[in-house]
Structure 1
Amino acid sequence: MLKHGLDPADRRRPDRLSDSELADRHQAMQAFLNVAGPQLDHLYNLVGLSGCNVLLTDAHGIVLDQRVSDADAQQFRDWGLWQGADWSEAAQGTNGIGTCLAEGRQVTIHRDEHFRTLNTAMSCMDAPIWGPDGRLLAALDVSSARADQTERYNRLISAQVAQTARAIESLFFRMSFPDARIVVASDDQGEQAVLLAVDKDDLAIGATRAARRVLGLEREGAIRPRPAADLLGRQDDLTGFDRAERAAVMRALARAQGNVSAAARALGIGRATMYRRMARLGLGENHGGLSHM
C-alpha cells in the first residue's frame, strides 16, 4: 500500500511485541480474554482439524490469543500468524485482520487478495467484535493453510466466525453490566448483537454497537439513561409515575406467585388498597395467575 510505504515483495515476518509488551496488553484485556477463551476453544473444535489457525487480536491488530494444532503451528509461525504479531493494515497491507479492523466489518481475504506476496498462500476469514462502549474492541480471525481451500468452504467458516464473534460480544456485554437486566432490542438476526442493559428502575444504561445504531443512541461511550419502554416503543395509556407503579405492582405479584394478599403485604399496603390500585392500573381480577388468599 502506497499510503503505508509497504512493498508487496517484502518477505519479512510481521513485527512482534516483546514478551513484556504482550503481557501488558493481556493484562489490560484480561476480563475480555477470559470471556472469549471458551468461545475460541469451541470455534477451534469446529475448524482446527482442517488446518486452520484461530486468532483473537486487539483493536490494533496485535494477536493476543490463538488456537492451532501442533502439526500446523510451524507453518503459521513462519507466516507470522502468532501471538504478539502486528497484523494491522499499516503493517501488512490488505489482510483479514487488518482490513476487518480498518473497515469495521466482516471480511474474507482469499489468497492473492492479500497485499504481501508472502501471505497469498492463505485464506483469512474475520469478524469485528465491538465493546460495551460501542468502540471496536477486537477481531476474530480464522486463517487456513490448506492448498485446496475453496471459496465455498471459506463462506462456511466465515459464517461460523461471525456467529462466534457475536457470541463473544454478547457475553462480554452481559458481564459488563452484572446488575442489569439484558433485553434483546430487535428481532433482526443480523451479524451483531442488538442488546440493551436495563437497570432496576427500567432505565436503559448500556447498549451494544448494533443497538446504538438501531435505536439512534450515542455511537460511542456511555449512553444517557433513558426509559427502556421509550426506546423499545412499548407505549400504553399509562404515563410517568403510573407506569412505574404498575411495574412495581407487577413485580410484587410475580414474587408472590400471584397471591394478592402477599403482594400487598410486601408493598406495605392493605388488600383493599391493592385492589384499587390494580383496578386503576388495568390489572383486573382476571389477570392471569392471581389468587386472593
Structure 2
Amino acid sequence: MPARSAIVSKAEPLWIVGYVPASVATERKEVPLTGRIGLIGRQTAVHADLVQASIAKSDAAHSALVASWRRSLQLHHLDPAERKAPRRLTEGELRGARQRMERMIRAAETSLNRLYQAVGGVGCCVMLADRDGIPVERRGAVADDETFDEWGLWTGTVWSEDSEGTNGIGTCLADQRALTIHRDQHFFSRNTLLSCTTAPVCDHEGNLAAALDVSSCRSDLTEGFVQLISVAVGDAARRIEAENFRIVYSNARILLAPVAERGAGALIAVDQDDLVIGATRSARLALGITGEALARGLLAADVLGDQAKAKEDLDDAERGALQRAMARAGGNVSAAAQNLGISRATLHRKLARFEIRRPH
C-alpha cells in the first residue's frame, strides 16, 4: 500500500494540515516531522479550548453541535485533547455484529455500491454502521485503505458518541437525524481532519437500526460538495429502508403512499385482506400510523384516504365475494357454491338478491 504522508496544499493556509487520499493524490508538499508534531500539538490545544469555551458559555441551548460537545464532556467524561486511538472490536465481536445486521446489510448492498460509485473517486469511503455506531459494511478505494484504516474509518471501529464524542455516525444515532460533522466540529482534536456526512436508517417498524456514512480525510472538501454528499446519503438511506421493508414483507403488496413530501420512502405493506400490516417510518409519520393501530387492524382504504371504499358495508363486501367466486368458477354455480361453502339454492337466492348475472 502507498505510504501515508502529511501534506499541505500550496493554496492552503499553513495551519491546515490534511491528507489527500492516494486515489486522488496530485502534487503535494511534505511537512517536516518536527514541524508537523508541533503544529498538531498547537491545533489540539486550540480545539480543546474552543470546545471547553463553547460549553462554558452555555451555547448548548442554542446549538445542537455544542449540545453534543457537552454530552461528550459531561455525560461521557471524554477529553477533547485525548489522542488515544478509537476502540475496535475483536474479529469475533465484529462477526457477531455483522450477523445481527445480516438482513440490513443485504438490503443495503446495491445502495452502498451506487453511493460509492458517486463519491469514491474523490477520496471518500462509504460505511454502514449498526445502532451501536459500529461500521459493519464498507466501500472504499484499495489505494486509500491504509490511510482510512489508521483514521478508524473501518469496519469494527466504535464510533458511538459515548466512545468518540461528537462525530458523524455517533451523533447521527444520538440525535436520530441526518447531519454533517465537518472537521473541527468533531469533539476530539484528533478527528478534526475528518468530514463525515451521515443519515439514520430505520427498520421495517420505523425504529432506528443503522447509520449510513460518507467520510473523508481530504482537506479540500468544499461546503458545496459536502451538501451534494448530504443529499446523496439521505437518498441512499431511504432506498435501504425501502429495500429492507420489501424483504421483510416479501409476501405482501407494497404500496407507495400518496404523500409527495415523503418521497419514495413512504411505503405500506398490505395483505390479501387489504389490511395494512406494515409501514415505513416515513409512511407512519405522514399518515399517522402507529404500532397500536397496526395491531388492531387497519384497512388500506382508510389509510390511503379512499373514502368511497372506506364506507363499504357488509352488502358490498358480500356482493364482491359472490362476484369473485363466480368469476373463479367460470360462471358455474355448483362450483362457486362449493367454493363458498353454501348450497346451490342459497347461492341462487344471493345472486338474485344482488342482481348478479352469470357470465356467458
Same fold judged by TM-score > 0.5? Answer: yes
* Equivalent AA in structure 2 for residue 89 of structure 1: E
Gaps of 5+ in 1: 280-284, 286-291
SS of match in other structure, 2:127: strand
TM-score, scaled relative to structure 1: 0.84
1:171 Cα offset (Å):
0.6
Distance (Å, rounded) in 1 between the aligned partners of 2:323 and 2:288: 29
Contact 2:262 2:286 in 1 (8 A): no
SS of match in other structure, 1:81: coil
* 1:196 alignment counterpart: 268
Contact 1:55 1:142 in 2 (8 A): yes
Which structure 2 residues correspond to residues 122-271 of structure 1 after superposition, within 5 A?
122-190=194-262, 193-218=265-290, 223-236=295-308, 238-245=311-318, 248=321, 262=330, 268=336
Distance (Å, rounded) in 2 between the aligned partners of 1:128 and 1:250: 47
Percent of aligned pairs sharing the same letter: 44
* 1:17 alignment counterpart: 89
Q: If each structure's helix is expressed as a fraction of its own residues, which one has the higher value?
A: 2
RMSD of aligned Cα (Å): 3.0
1:36 Cα offset (Å):
1.0
Contact 2:259 2:286 in 1 (8 A): no
Contact 1:121 1:147 in 2 (8 A): yes
Contact 1:94 1:115 in 2 (8 A): yes
Distance (Å, rounded) in 1 between the aligned partners of 2:355 and 2:93: 61
* Aligned residues between the structures: 278
Distance (Å, rounded) in 2 between the aligned partners of 1:4 and 1:116: 13
Contact 2:197 2:229 in 1 (8 A): yes
Is 1:8–2:76 an aligned residue pair?
Answer: no
* Equivalent AA in structure 2 for residue 42 of structure 1: R
Contact 1:182 1:197 in 2 (8 A): yes
* 1:289 alignment counterpart: none
* 2:185 alignment counterpart: 113
1:176 Cα offset (Å):
0.4
* Equivalent AA in structure 2 for residue 37 of structure 1: E
Residues 206-250 of structure 1: per-residue CA shift (max 9 Å, x gap): 111122222222269974321111122211174233454466578
Contact 1:196 1:206 in 2 (8 A): yes
1:264 Cα offset (Å):
7.1
* 1:41 alignment counterpart: 113
Distance (Å, rounded) in 1 between the aligned partners of 2:110 and 2:218: 25
Residues 67-102 of structure 1: per-residue CA shift (max 9 Å, x gap): 011122112111111111111111111111011111
Contact 2:262 2:283 in 1 (8 A): no
Residues 40-59 of structure 1: per-residue CA shift (max 9 Å, x gap): 11111111010001000001
* Equivalent AA in structure 2 for residue 240 of structure 1: D
SS of match in other structure, 1:268: helix
Higher Rg: 2
Cα separation, partners in 2 of 1:92 and 1:268, compared to 1, 3 Å: same
1:111 Cα offset (Å):
1.0
* 2:167 alignment counterpart: 95
Distance (Å, rounded) in 1 between the aligned partners of 2:214 and 2:257: 29
Distance (Å, rounded) in 1 between the aligned partners of 2:189 and 2:355: 72
Residues 129-186 of structure 1: per-residue CA shift (max 9 Å, x gap): 1001221010000002221101100111111111111001001001101111111123
Distance (Å, rounded) in 2 between the aligned partners of 1:70 and 1:31: 26
Residues 85-132 of structure 1: per-residue CA shift (max 9 Å, x gap): 111111111111011111111111111111111111121111111001
Contact 2:80 2:188 in 1 (8 A): yes
